[in-house]
Structure 1
Amino acid sequence: MEQEHPNLESFLSWAAQLGISDSTTRTNQPQHSLSSCLGSSLSVSHFPHTGGRGLGAVRDLRRGEIVLRVPKSALMTRETVMEDKKLCDAVNRHSSLSSAQILIVCLLYEMGKGKTSRWHPYLMHLPHTYDVDEAMWVTEKAMLKAKSEWKEAHSLMQDLMFKPQFFTFKAWVWAAATISSRTLHIPWDEAGCLCPVGDLFNYDAPGIEPSGIEDLDRLLSNTSIPDTIVLNGDKNIMVDAEQLDSHSWRLTDGGFEEDANAYCFYAREHYKKGDQVLLCYGTYTNLELLEHYGFLLQENPNDKVFIPLEPALYSSTSWSKESLYIHHNGKPSFALLAALRLWATPQSRRRSVGHLVYSGSRVSTDNEIFIMKWLSKTCDAVLRNLPTSLEEDTFLLNAMDNSQDFSTFMEITKLVSSRDETCTFLETHNMKDTHSFTDVILSRKARRSMDRWKLAVQWRLKYKKVIFDCITYCNKILDSLLK
């Protein structure tokens, strides 16, 4: 995803001077005598099958051990960048802009300073391109939103007298992709921060959250905890939100710590020397990973699919819309099953069966048969209404993986309905009138677009597979009920 930078050593030396360190000794003092901020716990390494460039363990690491510390003064935030009076005064005159828009402008402003920017070593280390910018899979809605936000920031960029190259939409998209894919959470600014060295960690998904029936059934049995929420208006059925959270693994492996006045990162598991040390940014679906970070996971326990539901279903339960989804393995979420069971129950009987529903039990055999048939039919309709089928996407992805050259790929794609996508690709790269692809060598830009296209196909294939697996799940339940 990123391009290697020849000045990595000077960047790490610069970081050490700012007090960034992977030493287990707690200090935020600048390390002027060190040639690198890494070496005690971590090193920059290449992991071709798991994210490319990342951070590897230089020794055995224990789970929970601190592995990197980045002082607050080294974080690139709106607050630190706006120490520049010219920038601060200009931003204060444009209070209608969002915090994210302002941080994007701050990034471009610092880029425009060149070598005079205090962040220059870090800025030169940032990728020149991202898989999340100008991608073929970006929706029209997202592109329109980006253009609207760019235009809203025009007057601020004019006040700051941006150089032409930093005023373009292309520059805005690059900066927005940087902010989207690399910022980390800080409690005092919703825009987040750019964290030198800390953004070298590659992503690992957190463990599966306790969303199964057994976990909720156990938690639902405890009604003595004072801080509770009421489900569906039934005061006899309560779930403690904090207790639910405490039964899942810590969702992130780093955060800003006030006592250390630094962003601190911890090993999320035991690592052997040479292992890649991964960071969990939080619970993301594959679509969110693709949108914000430009990659997806082959096995993502936090992936989920939402399907269209009847409007009356939402009024039959107090479960939030965000909890009504299908898991990565095709099983309906606990909340979706509960909502469907209540929706399929006559309104006059819902209160009397509430204790069954919220304990994860079936209301009746007829009720379960009805919702499984409805769910299977709805999933089937979703698949049928998509432009391409699961089989066609599988075929296309295999062609992308196994074609020895572009000519072979073009011959294969003539056989599937995705040929409209192929035409769009050819038109985008001025190849539509090419009569023979035998000797065609794709440009670097075309190869990048091909990689992004492949990511799109991978995502939609996984999406369809989840829906297909849900149909299979429903049919298995129906078979057992109708015996």
Structure 2
Amino acid sequence: MDDQKGLEALLRWGAEVGISDSPHSVTSPISCLGHSLSISNFPEAGGRGLAAARELRCGELILRVPRKALMNRESLRKDGKLTPGFQRYPHLTSTQVLTVYLLAEVGKGSSSWWYPYLVQLPRTYDILATFNQFEIQALQVADAISASKKSISKLQFEWKETQGLMKEINLKPQLLSFQSWLWASATISSRTLHIPWDDAGCLCPVGDLFNYDAPEMDACISGELETKSMDQNSLRSDINIGEDSDAEECCENFQRLVDGGFEEDVGAYCFYARKRYKRGEQVFLCYGTYTNLELLEHYGFLLSRNPGDKIPILVGEDTVQINDSLHIQQDGRPSFSTLCALRLLFTPQKLRKAAGRLAYSGIQLSRENETSAMSWVVKKCHGLLQELPTTLEEDGLLLKYIENMLKYFKEEDKKPSNGSFLKWATEEKQGLGWVSEMMEFLEMYGLKDCFISGERKLSRRLERSLRRWRMAVQWRLMYKKTLCDCVIYCTGMIQQLSSQSLESRGAPLLQDVKK
């Protein structure tokens, strides 16, 4: 009930400050939503989000948030009490300034102009920087573990740098802690939207209720969406809320990498429907292409189907080592650039210059060359998998048991609570890596005694840790699945090459290059 009242207060405040999903200049005094959008819960797709209140057309403007409602450094400058203190710390980054400003507004309590918005912000986040040591190690992959540690170190450094400023503006003692800084930083990282005049971005009340959806598959494979030459301003003039313009045709002529942006001529952040939505469907926002590790690092969630996900690989000592294009795609196929690099790697040095044009045109050089490239990828994937302490199948079992633990504590699980749950949870051989990992977690939180006594109380701290552990296992499981899919794909290609002759199909050969 309190949450519902808080949402109603936010929507009333939004209407007062000019946030609107309606084409009419006069909106409802009790809510800024209702014409195009409504708040709804989507347990299997991001939790709380925005649903279509009616049928929405592709490209249709569905929400406006005026400039004055955006929380950013510009709004800070309007606060005469805070501004002098910030001016004495010009070395701080834009993000540090916005983070301190957010904490300062939280410290004002109900006297803050932003109060109806601030009280609706999440109390906790699951970005990588919030992971404890056990949860970080559960990622298993060296790059992911390194990213987690770097993220934490970066936030600790930024927090220490701002201590002088936070004390000078008299922040409350509890807001000076690293945990408060971590919360504010996670809010900034996961909820800010891009604005042209501030690289820290802005917090956008109501607009940040949209959940994320990844770009289309073909856009992620190519690395970027193809942008047509149509002028965005002329497009916007043809698409207004409630108009009967041909939105479907507009989507064919203009494609956005993101579905919203600040528009100077209307002085508001404007959001558009990225496709046609039926009434009740969740309306998503696409704010770029991210790997699952990047989503976890900056936003605290994963996508089970993320065409932007990839596994970077290094190809040869004499190729470019730091190159984002050298990777395995989520569907298990080596990227175009990876195949090009491998085809040249297995081409004699003296022939590489001549073969380069063919390789970078996506053409197979010879059956033997392609077989060598595919075999290299298979060996690479096997090597990466063997470095990890658990297998794909083990992670699947562990994930199932983590889910069962969550159900057990929420009294949704019907299994006996007199200790048989612990026996059931460890019924596999103790030598398996995933069982050892689970036992370590149980011992860390004293859960063995809970299962034996039948206690089902789940503390918030334990629930958050279970949730983050589950995400770590989900991430590494998807990582391993991509590698396994790549092995299957490349092995199939090798088998196909062994039964066919590229020469009989007229494909260019290294022999032709020699000539």
TM-score of the alignment, normalized to the shorter chain, above 0.5 = yes
- Greater CA deviation, 266-275 or 347-356? 347-356
Structure 1 position 164 matched with structure 2 position 180: no
Per-residue CA deviations over 1:226-260 (Å, capped at 9, x if unaligned) read xxxxxxxxxxxxxxxxxxxx999421111111111
CA distance in 1, matches of 2:334, 2:126: 31
Counterpart among 164, 174, 180 of residue 155 in structure 1: 164
Aligned to 2:116: 121
Counterpart among 478, 481, 494 of residue 462 in structure 1: 478
Per the TM alignment, residue 440 of structure 1 is displaced from its structure 2 partner at its CA by 4.6
Per the TM alignment, residue 412 of structure 1 is displaced from its structure 2 partner at its CA by 2.3
Aligned to 1:224: none
Identity %: 50
Aligned to 2:13: 14
CA distance in 2, matches of 1:159, 1:381: 53
Aligned to 1:36: 31
Q: How many residues align?
A: 444
CA distance in 2, matches of 1:24, 1:383: 54
CA distance in 2, matches of 1:273, 1:305: 37
CA distance in 2, matches of 1:52, 1:428: 29
Structure 1 position 51 matched with structure 2 position 64: no
Aligned to 1:475: 491
Per the TM alignment, residue 299 of structure 1 is displaced from its structure 2 partner at its CA by 1.1
Q: Is the 8 A contact 2:59 2:273 kept in 1?
A: yes
Q: For 2:182, what is the secondary structure of its paired residue?
A: helix
CA distance in 1, matches of 2:15, 2:422: 48
Per the TM alignment, residue 420 of structure 1 is displaced from its structure 2 partner at its CA by 4.5
Per the TM alignment, residue 212 of structure 1 is displaced from its structure 2 partner at its CA by 6.4
Aligned to 1:357: 359
Q: TM-score, normalised to structure 1's length?
A: 0.85
Per the TM alignment, residue 426 of structure 1 is displaced from its structure 2 partner at its CA by 3.7
Q: Is the 8 A contact 2:220 2:307 kept in 1?
A: no
Counterpart among 188, 202, 215 of residue 193 in structure 1: 202
Aligned to 1:255: 261
Counterpart among 421, 425, 430 of residue 412 in structure 1: 425
CA shift in 2, pair 1:40/1:155, >3 Å: same
CA distance in 1, matches of 2:441, 2:472: 13
Per the TM alignment, residue 436 of structure 1 is displaced from its structure 2 partner at its CA by 2.8
Q: Is the 8 A contact 1:24 1:66 kept in 2?
A: no
Q: Is the 8 A contact 1:77 1:194 kept in 2?
A: yes
Per the TM alignment, residue 464 of structure 1 is displaced from its structure 2 partner at its CA by 0.5
CA distance in 1, matches of 2:81, 2:71: 17
Counterpart among 409, 418, 422 of residue 438 in structure 2: 422
Please show how residues 303-314 of structure 1 align to structure 2 within 5 Å.
303-314=309-320
Q: For 1:85, what is the secondary structure of its paired residue?
A: coil
Structure 1 position 135 matched with structure 2 position 159: no
Please show how residues 29-108 of structure 1 align to structure 2 within 5 Å.
34-108=29-103
Equivalent residue letter for 1:160: I
Q: Is the 8 A contact 1:90 1:156 kept in 2?
A: yes
Per the TM alignment, residue 347 of structure 1 is displaced from its structure 2 partner at its CA by 2.9
Per the TM alignment, residue 437 of structure 1 is displaced from its structure 2 partner at its CA by 5.7
Counterpart among 275, 294, 302 of residue 288 in structure 1: 294
Q: Is the 8 A contact 2:314 2:326 kept in 1?
A: no
CA distance in 2, matches of 1:305, 1:192: 29
- Greater CA deviation, 391-400 or 167-176? 391-400
CA distance in 1, matches of 2:36, 2:219: 32
Q: Is the 8 A contact 2:274 2:285 kept in 1?
A: yes
Per-residue CA deviations over 1:264-309 (Å, capped at 9, x if unaligned) read 0001111111111111121111112222222211211111111343
Q: Is the 8 A contact 2:10 2:117 kept in 1?
A: yes
Q: Is the 8 A contact 1:5 1:125 kept in 2?
A: no
CA distance in 2, matches of 1:435, 1:68: 49
Q: For 1:7, what is the secondary structure of its paired residue?
A: helix
Per the TM alignment, residue 410 of structure 1 is displaced from its structure 2 partner at its CA by 6.8
Per the TM alignment, residue 365 of structure 1 is displaced from its structure 2 partner at its CA by 1.6
Per the TM alignment, residue 335 of structure 1 is displaced from its structure 2 partner at its CA by 1.1
Unaligned runs of 5+ in 1: 220-245
Please show how residues 282-431 of structure 1 align to structure 2 within 5 Å.
282-314=288-320, 321-402=323-404, 405=408, 408=421, 411-413=424-426, 415=429, 416-426=432-442, 428-431=444-447
Per-residue CA deviations over 1:48-102 (Å, capped at 9, x if unaligned) read 2211211111111101000000011110011112322332222222222221111
Q: Is the 8 A contact 1:399 1:409 kept in 2?
A: no
CA distance in 1, matches of 2:453, 2:492: 47
